A and B are shown apart, each in its own frame.
Chain A
């Protein structure tokens, strides 16, 4: 039997049993659309997060006070910090030849006010190098001046939200604002970054690190952000940092170094695993669809017993009967798969309308995978009915009326 004829026969069988066809297409398309939508969500979340972290800068090293024993684990948020990171540590690290830029960071929260308008916000103390290390863009004015770390100055750079809330549309540059009891002159406004992982840049007020230390009366650093000279010098920079800090901290290596690489990899792994889990859960609906395909096909075999018996009496071999039923299953599930993909794409379009900022798309591989999964499901669950049909005894099949 020619392949075209096998499929043509299967197609007429599909068309002449509209209820069965509809049932299988609905079940299969539910499975395929949920798998494709959830895969798209997972994939998009992954690439979004990875992209966000990559925007942090590719040669970024973050030093935290305290040491985690398990490598790759959580930074010690609640653990006691054995020895503080200080501005002196930061200055010492500047001597490493592998470090291109270094920004000490302290963080605190304080009320900020202008002409009676007041709000509580995050105050970050840092240096001029922060702009380079974090790839910050200015909307207007300039960033913190490049002065020695230990030199306080009454200047600040503010985020867009702060600007809108405290100054609305009036001019900002050169204006004074009050943090706690101290006055700072606004010298720059950050460009809006939209959503960013970690600190919301739009709600930030950045002041020189020495000013922040006196403001909060806290002389230990929250972090030191470092940009190494190149991707290749990341390791050398890490070694330098460990050696220098150990030397300064009485032989104790009491810091944790996080690289942007390790963060990205961790999140990549976590989100890939999440996507897989979610896809597997949606895969259950495919399994259900497969079982439905099997049952409906089995019913169809019983229904068409006489026809199958006749085909065998007319000289159809077992392989031909199997071929006929498997191509029927394949056609049905392919139709279901395509319908499912269309439904999936429409749902994604709809979601995209609701969340325009979130990049949503089904990668091509997932599209093809969904289609092949549909067909494979149909084939696997079509095998049993096909074999049942092929093994029918023609005489008994024909005598059944």
Chain B
């Protein structure tokens, strides 16, 4: 499903070149549950952003679902992102002026789906994350855990094959952290490929496979 070959990602900071990723090779099959751990600044987020097609590798190749996606036109990139990948952020990134319902609806609207169909899908997504009674609440009326669940509903609304989460529990207390991880695992049990970056070793151990990133290189 995900094939990364000798991925390098360099950042130019002034005169200096920062090598965030140093020849990453990674192969993840459909339906896997993988955790990514490593010290801060080791390149975990950079790796996940490249997998999410939010960022492009400086060199190396990336095959997604058997298609080379290393160099794609911006429009196709956006479409692939919308249809195949769900992304969950540490800081939730909900739009504050929109309700939970409206935040979850965004990907459907971007995809040009008709309002009636949207309503059905958002309603069942709210149900799946257990927030049916919070549909009309704005993000600032929700707890951290509830916000992250809205974000998960939004990330999964297009039924993506891959779910990527960059420290989804980093901003939550341990109790709601566990709840969020369990929610993500539910999606994995339904066949969604799940990649989670985490600092918490006990959460990381729950995955079927652990990847350690140190200085932009992976050591399994």
List residues of A whose CB falls within 8 A of some B CB: 1-2, 5, 9, 12, 16, 306-307, 310-320, 394-395, 398, 401
Contact = CB atoms under 8 A, between A and B. Distances in A.
A12 B78 contact: no
The 3 A-B residue pairs with the shortest CB-CB distance in the complex, in nearest-first order: A315-B82, A317-B78, A315-B81
A315 B84 CA distance: 10
B128 interface: no
A317 B79 contact: yes
A401 B75 contact: no
Contacts of B83: 315
17 contacts: A1-B109, A1-B110, A2-B109, A9-B109, A16-B97, A311-B110, A313-B52, A313-B87, A314-B154, A315-B81, A315-B110, A315-B158, A316-B78, A317-B79, A318-B75, A318-B78, A320-B110
A319 B112 contact: no
Nearest to B85: A315
Interface in B64-95: 74-75, 78-79, 81-83, 87, 89, 91, 93, 95
A310 B93 contact: yes
A312 B55 CA distance: 12
Interface centre among A1, A16, A311, A317 (most CB of B within 10 A): A317
A1 B112 contact: yes
A310 B109 contact: no
B54 A318 contact: no
B111 interface: yes
B97 A319 contact: no
A241 B84 CA distance: 90
A264 B54 CA distance: 68
Interface string B40-63: 000000000100101100000000
B107 interface: yes
Contacts of A9: 109
Contact of B78 (A306, A315, A395, A401): A315
Given A1-B109, A12-B97, A312 B78 contact: yes
A313 B107 contact: no
A317 B72 CA distance: 13
A2 B112 contact: yes
A313 B109 CA distance: 14
B112 A314 contact: no
A394 B54 contact: yes
Nearest to A398: B93
Contacts of B107: 314-315
B129 interface: no
Contacts of B98: 12
B106 interface: yes
A2 to B, nearest CB: 5
A319 B158 CA distance: 20
Nearest to B166: A398
Given A12-B97, A313-B93, A315-B78, 6 more contacts: A312-B78, A313-B52, A314-B107, A317-B78, A395-B49, A398-B93
